[in-house]
Amino acid sequence: MKWAALIRLYPKRWRIRYEDEMRALLEGGSVSVRDGLDLLRGALEAHLIRDLSAGPDPRSQTTLGGVMEHPVPTKRSATVAALFLCLPASFLLSVTMKYGFGYDMAFDPLESFWTFKPIEYFTVLSPLAALFLSVAPALRVSVARDGGAIKGALVVQAGAVRIAVAAVSFGMLLVFFGYFLTENIVYVRVHF
C-alpha cells in the first residue's frame, strides 16, 4: 500500500501547506504500518482542530508565557448554520402566509408537518443544529492551574453574521416550542 496516499485524508488547507514536504518525507525512507496509523491519527486531528491547518496566524500574539489570543472563527460554520435554517424558515413562512394572511397554499403546511416524515423532524431539529453550529465554534473554554487554584474562562468571539444566525435559530426554536405548547397543552385544556 502506498502510505503517502493517506495524506489525501488531511484537510485541504493542511495539504496546501504541508503535502509536498510530507510526501518527500515518506518517499525518503521506509514507512511502517505504525507510520500509516500515525498519519491516520494526524489526519483526524487536523480535521478536528481546524486552526492547525492554517499556518502561522498574524492575529495570534505569542508571548513567553505561552498565552495565545484565539483567532476569530471563520464564517464557514455560520454559513452552514444559516443553510440549516432554510427549511424551517420556509415552513414558518408558509404557515404565516396561510394562517396569518389567508393566502391559500397548494398544501397545508401544518397538515403536512404532522405526517411525521423525516423531513418534518429535520425541520424542527435543524434550528437546534443551526444554533449549535453558530455558537459552538465561537466559544473557547480554557482551564488553567495557577498555583493552587484552578481558573476557568469562557470567551465568546463572534461576528455579526454568527450572532444573527444564532439569534434567528433561537427565535425559531422559541416559535416551535410555543407552537408545541399551544397545540398540546393550551388547546387541549381549553377544548377538552
Partner 1 sequence: MPEPLGGFGRHSEPALLVLVSLAERPKHGYSMMDDIDRLTGTRLGPGTLYGAIARLEKRGFIEKLESTDRRKPYRLTHAGQDALSSQLAGLEVVVSTGLQRLATA
**Interface positions with partner 1 (CB under 8 A):** 14, 17-18, 20-26, 28-29, 31, 34-35, 37-43, 45-46, 51-57, 60, 62, 64-68, 144, 146
Q: How far is the CB of 5 from partner 1 (least distance, A)?
A: 13
b/e map 27-37, b = 16+ CB within 10 Å: eeeebeeeebe
Minimum distance, C-beta of residue 50 to partner 1, in the bound complex (Å):
11
Q: Pick the closer one to partner 1 by CB: 24 or 155.
A: 24
Q: Which is nearer to partner 1, 37 or 185 (CB)?
A: 37
Side-chain half-sphere exposure of 83, counting CA atoms within 13 A: 5
* Residue closer to partner 1 (CB basis): 53 or 112: 53
Query: Minimum distance from CB of 137 to partner 1 (Å)?
Result: 17
- What would the grid cell of residue 126 be? 435543524
Taking the complex as a whole, the smallest distance from the CB of residue 114 to partner 1 amounts, in Å, to 49
For residue 149, what is the enclosing H or E element? strand 149-156
Element of type H or E holding 146: strand 139-146
Distances (CA, A) of 33 to 37, 40, 41: 6, 11, 12
